[in-house]
Amino acid sequence: MLPDNLDMQMDVARNANDFSGLDKLRTAARQDEKGALKEVAKHFEAIFVRMMLKSMRDSADVLADEDSPFNSQQVKFYRDMHDQQLATELSNTGGLGLADLIVRQLGGDPNYTPASLVSPDRVYAVPAATSNENQSTDKPARVDMGTRQAAFADKQQFVEALLPLAEQATQNSPVDGLSMIAQAAVETGWGQQMIHSLGGQNSHNLFGIKASKNWQGDRTLIDSVEYKDGSASKVRSAFKAYPGFSDAMQDYVRTLENSPRYSEALKVADNPQTFFSELQQAGYATDPQYANKIMSVLDFVRSVAANAASSR
């Protein structure tokens, strides 16, 4: 909150033709940096709106009647002054919301992550579409805007905690448990970027499986990076939320086994490189390097599993 005297000065400085406004902003920033941030953001939004208005005016002027009295230089001069003040007023009363986004990003809002900070190495998988995935359900599912939080201390703990669960989930499946853990490591950054609800509840979604319309359980909205035609982009999607990691692994196995889309991949499940290449080709993930990334961490998973087995 700006001091009262500065607050009054800033009200005056919001006049588009007050050239001392910048000096007042500097003074405000020295006395209250966070309080001045909002004003700076509003000024930036006003500049942006002013540029849009000028662009629209210039486009209209091309088709304007040169002989019209409303197209004189004097009219344009006062029109531009009006547009400047209009842009300032719009930004001060909410406008496009650009100022609020600037404040959230530069002000350190913990619940805001700009797109530039989303790593292209964090790729979420796209599950197969089944025949009834587009059907609606009468049971409403709880949807929560999520965050990413760590669920494990390090890689070692990640592998050791998931080993017995993977063995159980793949007991009657051709899917290899260690390969599955390696895939989960890539999907979650070794459990350091697990999807959590805003309330802090872990979704236990190890494989980036999205929630289709017929999903009966909870779901969490999250921003993810996906690839299309070789270009990465950020999208917001609903992901499944499970009661525990065991449920996530069992659902992963069911997803592969119940979809004809992955039948070729399951035939070569004993060969991880080929298996993940087939998954990628079938559309499980959009990252062109998906299979290679999983193979790059599989040796570590195997070494931890071997040490765990020898110590039993």
- Active-site residues, by number, are 226, 251
Instruction: Identify any residues that bridge with 221 across adjacent strands, giving them in sequence order.
Output: 145, 238
Instruction: Report in angstroms the alpha-carbon separations of 24 from 6, 61, 102, 245.
Output: 8, 36, 20, 55
Secondary structure (3-state) at 296: helix
Give the tokens for residue 32: 């209250």
Q: Which amino acid is at 101?
A: L
- Phi and psi of 7, rounded to 5°? -60, -40
Find, among 10, 3, 4, 6, the residue nearest to 39 by Cα: 10
Asked if 242 contacts 209 with a C-beta cutoff of 8 angstroms, the reply is: no
Query: CA-CA distance, 219 to 138, in Å (whole number)?
Result: 15
CA angle 236, 238, 244 (to 5 degrees): 135
Find, among 268, 123, 253, 272, the residue nearest to 193 by Cα: 123
Instruction: Report in angstroms the alpha-carbon separations of 57 from 44, 54, 67, 266.
Output: 20, 5, 17, 61
